[in-house]
Amino acid sequence: MIKKLLISCILIPVLANAKVPDTGFYADLGSGVSSINYLSTTSSSWMVRLDGGYNMNKYVGFQIGANNFFSTQMTNQLLGNYNLSGQGYDVSIIPNIPFGVNAPLNVFARIGLGYDTMSASVGNQSATVDVLGLGLRYDISAHLTVSAQWIGRGLIIQPTPSNYNQSNFLANIGLYF
């Protein structure tokens, strides 16, 4: 009982003041799963992502990001088995909708443009892609956040000849300055 009371006395003030500043710089580090469609073959890979950005106000920000998905085995009827890895870089506008006044919970979207490079044993490809996303962020304190997000790459602008695209599901931790 005393432990629960002590934890509540610590957590309630932290959560009550959890809202990050409406403007300022931030950095996020995320990890998750990437579902990759390349040369008409789909596979999954573990990925990491690093983002840096600036919130102009509580409703909109700008972000640059880089992601890396690690080597995954692909199987294609014409090409057989091959390994694929890649990197992506992007610039996005981040619309943000807070839940209530000074609420620590926010829904955000991502609309941007990226450049991806694929390295495969059957050939390499680089392409400009659209970057779209949707996520949910919770502000733990005034400088620490956690989020879960989905980021799609190449869903509208489909690079030729591979019709490459990705769906990424990430868990992030972020710092606001």
Greatest C-alpha distance within the chain: 66
Higher per-residue pLDDT: 65 or 1:
65
Instruction: Work out the burial of residue 92: count CB atoms within 10 Å of its CB; fewer than 13 is exposed, 13-18 middle, 19 or more buried.
Output: buried
* CATH code for the part of the protein at 2-176: 2.40.160.20
Q: What is the pLDDT of residues 159-170, one digit of tens each?
A: 766 678 899 999
Instruction: Provide the CB-side half-sphere exposure for 58 (13 A, CA).
Output: 15
Check whether 85 has a pLDDT greater than 70.
Answer: yes
pLDDT band at 7 (very low <50, low <70, confident <90, very high): low
**pLDDT at residue number 25:** 96
Q: Which two tokens stand for residue 61?
A: 């920000």
Torsion-angle region of residue 102: left (phi > 0), alpha (psi -120 to 50) or beta?
left
Q: How many CA atoms lie within 13 A of 154 on its CB side?
A: 25
Q: Supply the mean pLDDT for the chain.
A: 85
The pLDDT tens digits of the residues spanning 120-175 come to 877 788 889 999 999 999 999 989 999 999 999 999 987 766 678 899 999 999 99
